[in-house]
Amino acid sequence: MDKFVIRGGRPLSGTVTIGGAKNASLALMPATLLAGGTHVLRNTPTLRDVVTMTRLLETMGLHIGQSGDVLTIDSSHITSREAPYEHVKKMRASIYVLGPLVGRFGEARVSLPGGCAWGPRPVNLHIEGMRKLGAEIELEAGYIVAKAKRLHGARILFDVSSVGATGNILMAAALAKGTTLIENAAQEPEIVQLTEFLMKMGAKIHGVGTGRLEVEGVDELKPAEVTTIPDRIEAGTFMIAAALAGKKGSAVRIERCNPNHVGSIIVKLEDAGARVETGADWVSVTPPEKLTSINVTTAIYPGFPTDMQAQWISLMMVASGTSVVTDTIYFDRFMHVPELSRLGANITVKENIATVVGVKRLAGAKVMSTDLRASASLILAGLVAEGTTEVLRVYHIDRGYDSVEKKLQALGADIKREKGEEF
Ligand code: UD1
């Protein structure tokens, strides 16, 4: 298993380019199940999760070609309506095949995802939503087994705003008979992109980008083309890298991102003392003279993303003062804290609240990645820790960041990928 070896203290400057959004691709790819023919997905990031989704869709008979960042998906011949455990256990977003399969073919057998590294991640909203659309659902031997003659429209209210459940129900409802109303729908940019892609395919959806989506079912959809939006979490991670480890007085420019999608991160970085400038598709961050401790509470979009919580803690570890970081989306998502503490951080966690007391220095050590965003926080910390930090099990980071070490090297970081010890 690969590891990253980071020698801290090298100031970052220059320009970094952001890739397509992982969480958009993971919704767009299964959406192609809804219409036979050849779909084209541009600006697709090179990530392990995208490879996992490719393999899963291939087991269902889809033909997927890749040329650079362009995926060509031929969904003319679907040979299986099953998402096996082998794939779903690697990536929870595999559950996105449920809606399209039941919507188009009236049946699906999808492995239940189970928990993840930091705790339970239920799929009850996906299942209840599909039932309201008329699917009969049984749980059999760890699988969701869904059947329906043809789905019908329904009024659905999500008790909790869920990205995945909104995406799944949108896809299923696109081919249902009649109108579906989704109240408290997720408004994340990745859901907006999925909605727009479905509309290009011929779906009739009103209320795009709002919490109230109305889907008028159609009989058939056709293949479409789409350019994936930039990854706001990759952009946000580099913005924090710039604020944390940027060269004093000079900016790191983050290109090919959407500044509107990272608004909450811009505000918090400015509050912490960084200078942030934006253009149509770029953000530049100049590190603060003095980094100030700032509280953050994660929330659904446009609030501060839970996927940036770990990285924010890394920044606050060396700020002056004490900050309180609360995760309201995932209560147990603090696996990075004990590892960050090994570098000298002063953090205590009680329930879903981390209290971070800024320290003057961090010292390099061996640390272990436990999940995708935790890995990002460890790399960030390694950039400013004195001496050498080894981040083990970096396969987690390859799920969601394309060539992170190369992008950091280009900004001046001393980071190398090496073969790590086996566990
Ligand atoms: C997506 C993102 C993930 C991000 C998360 C929250 C993808 C592939 N992943 O995950 O990176 O961290 O949004 O922004 O897009 N919930 C239920 N029941 C359900 C479903 C969700 O109670 O059936 C709860 C969850 O426990 C959580 C909240 O709803 O507290 C939001 O989760 P959700 O938006 O569904 O996350 P994902 O779509 O899995």
Burial of 406 (0-12, 13-18, 19+ CB in 10 A): exposed
> What is the atom index within ligand 1 of the atom nearest the CA of 167?
38
* The pLDDT value given to residue 421: 67
Check whether residue 313 and residue 214 sit in a common domain: no
Beta carbon of 189 within 6 Å of any ligand 1 atom: no
* Position 118 pLDDT exceeds 60: no
Query: Looking at ligand 1, which residue's alpha carbon is closest to its atom 26?
Result: 121
- The pLDDT assigned to 419 comes to 86
The total number of residues shown for the chain amounts to 423
**156 and 268 belong to one structural domain:** no
Domain boundary (172, 195, 227) is at 227
Of 160, 161, 301, 308, which is best to mutate to test ligand 1, by the most ligand atoms within 8 angstroms of its C-beta? 160
pLDDT of residue 122: 87
Q: Are residues 195 and 247 in the same domain?
A: no
* 196 shares a domain with 71: yes
Q: Is the pLDDT of residue 115 over 60?
A: no
260 and 142, same structural domain?
no
CA of 7 to the centre of ligand 1 (A): 35
Residue with tokens 């253009």: 279
What is residue 35's DSSP assignment? S
Q: Do 322 and 193 reside in the same domain of the chain?
A: no
The percent of residues in the chain predicted with pLDDT above 90, rounded, is 94
Q: What is the atom index within ligand 1 of the atom nearest the CA of 121?
A: 26
- Amino acid 143: pLDDT: 94
54 and 29 inside one domain: yes
Whether the per-residue pLDDT at 121 is higher than 80: the answer is no
Tell which wins on pLDDT, 362 or 422. 362
160 CA → ligand 1 middle, Å = 9
Active site residues: 116
Q: Point out the ligand 1 atom lying closest to the alpha carbon of residue 307.
A: 12
**Residue 263 in this model has a pLDDT that exceeds 90:** yes
Instruction: Among 121, 192, 327, say which to mutate for ligand 1: greatest number of ligand atoms within 8 Å of CB.
Output: 121
Q: Which domain holds residue 48?
A: 22-227
Tell me: do 217 and 235 sit in the same domain.
Answer: no
Ligand 1 center–CA 267 separation, angstroms: 24
Q: How far is the CA of 121 from the centre of ligand 1 (A)?
A: 7
Q: What is the pLDDT of residue 420?
A: 73
| One domain, residues 305 and 335 | yes
Q: What is the mean pLDDT of residues 59-73?
A: 97
Total structural domains within the chain? 2
How far apart, in whole angstroms, are the C-alpha atoms of residue 228 and residue 267? Answer: 25
DSSP 8-state assignment for residue 352 = T
Main-chain dihedrals φ then ψ at residue 241, nearest 5 degrees: -55, -40
Task: Give the residue from 194, 227, 260 where a domain finishes.
Answer: 227
Residues 186 and 334 in one domain: no
The answer on pLDDT for 120 being more than 70 is no
Rounded to an integer, what distance in angstroms lies between the CA atom of residue 106 and that of residue 172?
10
Q: Is 41 a pocket residue for ligand 1 (Cβ < 6 Å)?
A: no
What's the gap in Å between 59 CA and the centre of ligand 1?
25
Q: Which two tokens stand for residue 159?
A: 């008790």
Geometric angle at alpha carbon 265, from 277 and 115, rounded to 5°: 150
Residue 422: the pLDDT is 56
Residues 103 and 206 in one domain: yes
In eight-state DSSP terms, residue 37 is S
The CATH number of whichever domain residue 298 belongs to comes to 3.65.10.10
Average pLDDT, the chain: 96
Residue at which a domain ends, from 182, 209, 227? 227
| Whether 264 and 360 share a structural domain | yes
